[in-house]
Structure 1
Amino acid sequence: SVVILCPDFLLCRHCGFNIAPAAFVVNLRSPAAESFVNQTLFGLNNVEVQALRNPLGIQFNVVTAKGGTCIGVGNKWQIEHSWYPAHGWKLCQCSHCSKQIGW
């Protein structure tokens, strides 16, 4: 018999495009996390969802992944206001609809 696995994916909330397989999810806690909770998401147990706040005071619930199909915006990595010390960030757009999906 043949077993067909249908892995869960992180999807763009705007267009539903597959951003990354669930297997790419990693728990990488930021020292800037105001809180965190483990949830069952994407067919995985104990996915860490962190509450992080940007300099404008806007709070985001964040799940981290080690890769995906998003497109980094801009040429330079930003280090100011990084939630992860010694790591830069760029805006990340969906490769299908070009809406921002993360950093």
Structure 2
Amino acid sequence: MYLNKPPLPCSFLKSTPPGPNSGIEVKGETELEEFNEKAITCRECGFEVTNNSFSTNVKNSHEHAFFNPHGYVFQIRCFSAATGCVTLGKPSAEFTWFAGYTWQIATCSKCKTHLGWHFQSSSNSFYGLIKDKINEG
């Protein structure tokens, strides 16, 4: 809303890529595709459980640190899918790290090592994989 005078017009500057001496590195599409295709593997057996293209942010972060009721601290990384994982047990809301989500244990489908948890709500799901149990790219 304005009184008597209309708002001033805006002009936009066209963005140009930084020059070679700018100190800014610009990644090309090929490098981004290569990063996204990098496998995330089970540290125990090397089986591919997911890849970087499934990295996702939950509560505005890809990585979280939590502790369980026994005091063990876990650093987890979040992925929207982990086709190389199998979930075990019935979904539980007990001591969930993400309000509104239930969880199940997620293991490597090849060697059965505990890799993290599958979290599920009425509208979303994701895997929280333990940083120390996976190899990235």
> Is the Cα contact below 8 Å between 1:26 and 1:64 reproduced in 2?
yes
Does 1:17 find its partner at 2:31? no
Partner of 1:81: 95
Secondary structure at the counterpart of residue 63 of structure 1: strand
In the alignment, does 2:72 pair up with 1:58? yes
- Specify the SS of the correspondent of 2:62: strand
Determine which structure has the larger strand proportion and give its number.
Answer: 1
Q: Answer yes or no: is the 8 Å Cα contact 2:67–2:74 preserved in 1.
A: yes
Specify the alignment match of 2:23 in structure 1. none
CA contact (8 A) 1:92 1:101 kept: yes
The 8 Å contact of residues 9 and 18 in structure 1, kept in 2 or not, is answered as yes
Determine helix, strand or coil for the equivalent of 1:61.
strand
1:22 is aligned with what amino acid? N
TM-score, normalisation: structure 2: 0.55
Cα deviation for residue 49 of structure 1 reads 2.2
**Cα distance per residue 1:64-96 (max 9 Å; x no partner):** 11111210002x101001101111001111011
Larger Rg: 2
What is the CA-CA distance between 1:48 and the residue it aligns to?
Answer: 3.2
User: Match of 1:92, as an amino acid?
Assistant: A
Q: Deviations over 1:34-86 (max 9, x none)?
A: xxxxxxxxxxxxx7322111111111111011111210002x10100110111
- RMSD (CA atoms): 1.9
CA distance in 1 between counterparts of 2:44 and 2:59 reads 26
Alignment-mate amino acid for residue 8 of structure 1: K
Q: Choose between structure 1 and 2: higher helix proportion.
A: 2
5+ residue gaps, structure 2, are 1-29, 118-137
Identity %: 29
